[in-house]
Amino acid sequence: MTEKEKMISGVPYRANDTELIQLRAEVRKLLGKYNQTGVNDDDTQRILLKQILGKTGENSWIEPPFYCDYGFNIITGNDFYMNFDCVILDVAPVIIGDNVMCGPKVQILAATHSVDSHERNFSGTELGCSVTIGNRVWIGAGVIICPGVTIGDDVVIGAGSVVTRDVPPKVFAAGNPCRVIKSI
């Protein structure tokens, strides 16, 4: 397996691999253009967003500035909206459903490291764990979604929450760590 294939499949990989370095450099150039595009140049931003992301649904939009690791691992559904200053670390697939709204400063993190200190510090490898967000989800400002999390359909995540484990459908969840507060 290549390091890219390892990364996407969730096994330890070396981020200093030449191909991965090149892929990160390419998306950073596109992100630089995207983040500097004027507010009245929606057409250019839409073109760039389609080049950055793996797949975008109809009427999907991310307010600049926006940052990601690779872009090709991000799949968004229809009518997806992400507000200013958000980050998606997409070393593994990040799949976002239809009608999802994200407040400003949301972080979706598929990147992680070994919990074993020796492996983490001396192996030179990193890990990725997919993140999946269902349909009709509202993610409040400043939410951090950790690696490996799945959020069900029709969920509201309260502002400032740190989502460390799966969230079932049709609930309001909030806190650090995020927990279900009530059914919707």
Q: What is the DSSP letter of 144?
A: E
Residues 6+ apart with CB under 8 A from 12: 6, 114, 119, 123, 125, 126, 127
Selected catalytic residue, list 28, 113, 120, 179: 113
Distance CA 112, CA 115 (A): 9
Tokens 């229809």 belong to 78
**Burial call 123-141: b when 16+ CB within 10 Å, e when fewer:** eebbbbbbbbbbbbbbbbb
Specify whether 118 is catalytic: no
Give the three-class secondary structure for 35: helix
Residues with a known catalytic role:
113
